[in-house]
């Protein structure tokens, strides 16, 4: 074989290998981009983030229990303001 034929054979082999790698990459991308795979990945990410947020909330409550209790009381009073107002301003009955 001549030098040119050797170089051509190497280039063809490298080209075939590159095509095979590209085909493998395309197959991997197609499987990752399936709607079911995307949904599964999104759900897993949400679980992780949700767990981190919940843990951060628990840690905050542990560090500031009095403040947390005050905030919860204020929010509860806000949402229950109409019933509380009726309870506090009831007219006495004339029996």
1 pLDDT exceeds 90? no
Cβ(37)–Cβ(31) below 8 Å: yes
DSSP state of 93: P
Instruction: State if pTM tops 0.75.
Output: no
Burial (CB count within 10 angstroms: exposed 0-12, middle 13-18, buried 19+), residue 61: middle
pLDDT in tens, 53-62: 999 999 999 9
pLDDT in tens, 20-58: 999 999 999 988 888 888 899 999 999 999 999 999 999
Cα separation, 36 vs 18, in Å, equals 29
Inter-axis angle of helices 3-32 and 35-63, nearest 10: 60
Pick the more confident residue, 14 or 89: 14
């Amino acid at each position: 074989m001549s030098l040119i034929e050797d170089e051509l054979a190497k280039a063809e082999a490298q080209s075939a290998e590159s095509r095979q790698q590209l085909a493998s990459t395309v197959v991997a991308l197609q499987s990752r981009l399936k709607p079911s795979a995307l949904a599964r990945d999104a759900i897993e990410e949400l679980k992780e983030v949700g767990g981190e947020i919940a843990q951060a909330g628990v840690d905050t409550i542990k560090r500031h229990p009095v403040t947390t209790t005050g905030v919860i009381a204020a929010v509860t009073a806000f949402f229950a303001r109409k019933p509380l107002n009726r309870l506090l301003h009831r007219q006495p009955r004339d029996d």
